[in-house]
């Protein structure tokens, strides 16, 4: 089967095993092409792809299994490229001069699950309008593009799980970066050269790896503009050092996930601007610093998920601004009295459950007990009791009026 037409603008191909090639004369009007599960489709020569002069968006999803190399500058109008599960792809390159304007239109570049990708733009990535770059789960990739700081329009950078990486970008990070996801556990780091403090636009950061996290948390390297910080997949960290977080006056969300050795969390070292704190999959965490939680005066939500060693919550010391408390998969939580602030509005619980001893629209007291229930059951139960209480109050008011 061969695709032919001179008037197609949008083309979506899915699960067509008989599709083997595109017309050699090209599809000159084609703007958007998505290829999904077309494993037998073969890319033609680079000269043929130059005939696709109008192509702006290209998605190759689990297709073109014979493809071993891809040249970015084959499509002069290309703005968006997403390659996912291309098993034999080995290199992404540029055929022409890397300093010319052949990639001037490219805005989004996403590479995912290409297990044999070894080479990615070794001469550098010169794309003056690139705003999103994501390279994920390409386990044989040994190096990343050089001089990544020259991408002055880049806003989102995502680098995830490259097991063979032997060098990281050197020099400054892109100055207008707003979101940084760096999840590479073992890699040579250039933290001093990256100059995190100068990233005044950075609002979201996700980091992995004991070496990187330790370096960033010991001293204030992160910029004050940071709003959300996600730390996960740590093996050795026992105590969260908050010296690198305390100064973050704009920080609203902190996620601590899959820290296998974390035993305690001195939350008094966290920024008082924090509104949401989530701790998940920390099997050795036994307690929280209650005094610190009380002094997080802006904290509205606490999520504690799958912390199997956690035995108790701080007694009488939950944040006075707390509105939502989520506890899930903490089977060792002991029954004890904990006074919740008058601001608390909703509980979402599973396995270890908080039961209201006095149910009102605001919950003045909660008692931790051992009970199994789904989150949906708990929420339904609480909302049902709240409605019932409201009806009783209305009935009482009507009865008083009748009297």
User: Tens-digit pLDDT profile for the chain (403 aa)?
Assistant: 555 566 789 999 999 988 888 777 778 889 999 999 999 998 776 777 777 889 999 999 999 999 999 988 888 899 999 999 999 999 998 876 655 556 889 999 999 999 999 888 876 777 889 999 999 999 888 777 777 878 899 999 998 876 666 666 666 788 899 999 988 765 555 666 677 888 899 999 999 888 788 888 888 889 999 999 999 988 888 887 778 888 899 999 999 999 999 988 877 778 889 999 999 999 999 877 656 677 788 989 988 888 988 877 765 566 778 888 888 888 776 544 455 566 666 666 554 444 333 323 233 333 333 333 444 554 555 566 556 656 666 666 555 555 5
pLDDT for position 357? 36
Question: Cβ(352)–Cβ(325) under 8 Å?
Answer: no
pLDDT for position 19? 86
Query: What is the token pair recorded at 261?
Result: 């050795």
Cβ-based neighbour number of residue 83 at 10 Å: 23
In whole angstroms, give the CA distance from residue 204 to residue 156.
9
Q: Chain-centre distance of CA 282, in angstroms?
A: 18
CA angle 229, 232, 235 (to 5 degrees): 140
pLDDT for position 343? 64
CA distances (Å), 13 to each of 112, 368, 386, in order?
A: 19, 54, 52
Query: What is the token pair recorded at 268?
Result: 């008094």
Question: Cβ(11)–Cβ(32) under 8 Å?
Answer: yes
Q: Chain-centre distance of CA 363, in angstroms?
A: 33
Question: Cβ(216)–Cβ(196) under 8 Å?
Answer: yes
DSSP classification of residue 74:
G
CA angle 240, 244, 249 (to 5 degrees): 115
Q: CA torsion 135→139→142→145, rounded to 10°?
A: 0
Q: 135: which strand partners? A: 111, 159
Cβ-based neighbour number of residue 257 at 10 Å: 18
Q: 157: which strand partners? A: 133, 180
pLDDT for position 280? 93
Q: Chain-centre distance of CA 104, in angstroms?
A: 28
192: exposed, middle or buried (Cβ count in 10 Å: 0-12, 13-18, 19+): exposed
pLDDT for position 252? 96
pLDDT for position 335? 46
pTM as predicted: 0.80
Q: How far apart are the first and last CA of the chain?
A: 85
In whole angstroms, give the CA distance from residue 37 to residue 13.
8
In whole angstroms, give the CA distance from residue 268 to residue 249.
14
In whole angstroms, give the CA distance from residue 167 to residue 318.
45
**Placement of tokens 């009507």 in the chain:** 398
Q: 366: which strand partners? A: 338, 356
């Amino acid at each position: 089967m061969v695709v032919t037409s001179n008037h197609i603008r949008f083309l979506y191909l899915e699960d067509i095993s008989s599709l083997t090639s595109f017309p050699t004369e090209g599809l000159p009007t084609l703007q958007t092409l998505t290829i999904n599960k077309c494993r037998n489709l073969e890319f033609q020569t680079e000269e043929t792809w130059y005939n696709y002069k109008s192509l702006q968006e290209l998605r190759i999803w689990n297709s073109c299994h014979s493809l071993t190399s891809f040249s970015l500058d084959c499509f002069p109008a290309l703005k968006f490229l997403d390659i996912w599960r291309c098993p034999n792809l080995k290199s992404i390159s540029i055929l022409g001069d890397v300093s010319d304007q052949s990639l001037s239109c490219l805005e989004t570049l996403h590479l995912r699950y290409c297990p044999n990708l070894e080479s990615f733009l070794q001469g550098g990535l010169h794309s003056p309008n690139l705003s999103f770059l994501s390279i994920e789960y390409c386990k044989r990739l040994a190096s990343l593009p050089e001089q990544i700081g020259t991408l002055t329009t880049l806003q989102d950078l995502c680098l995830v799980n490259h097991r063979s990486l032997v060098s990281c970008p050197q020099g400054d990070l892109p100055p207008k970066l707003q979101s940084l996801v760096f999840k590479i556990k073992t890699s040579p780091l250039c933290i001093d050269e990256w100059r995190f403090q100068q990233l005044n636009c950075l609002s979201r950061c996700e980091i992995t790896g004991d070496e990187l996290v330790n370096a960033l948390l010991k001293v204030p390297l992160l910029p004050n503009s940071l709003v959300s910080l996600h730390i996960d997949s740590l093996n050795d960290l026992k105590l969260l050092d908050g010296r690198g977080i305390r100064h973050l006056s704009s920080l609203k969300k902190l996620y601590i996930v899959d820290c296998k050795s974390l035993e305690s969390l001195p939350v008094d070292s966290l920024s008082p601007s924090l509104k949401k704190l989530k701790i998940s999959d920390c099997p050795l965490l036994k307690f929280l610093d209650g005094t610190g939680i009380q002094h997080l005066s802006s904290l509205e939500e606490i999520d504690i998920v799958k912390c199997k060693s956690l035995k108790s919550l701080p007694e009488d010391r939950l944040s006075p601004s707390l509105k939502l408390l989520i506890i899930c998969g903490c089977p060792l939580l002991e029954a004890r009295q904990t006074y919740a602030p008058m601001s608390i509005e909703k509980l979402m619980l599973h396995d270890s459950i908080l039961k209201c001893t006095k149910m009102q629209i605001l919950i003045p007291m909660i008692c931790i007990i051992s009970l199994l229930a789904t989150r949906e059951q708990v929420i339904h139960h609480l909302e049902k009791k709240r409605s019932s209480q409201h009806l009783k109050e209305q009935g009482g008011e009507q009865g008083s009026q009748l009297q």
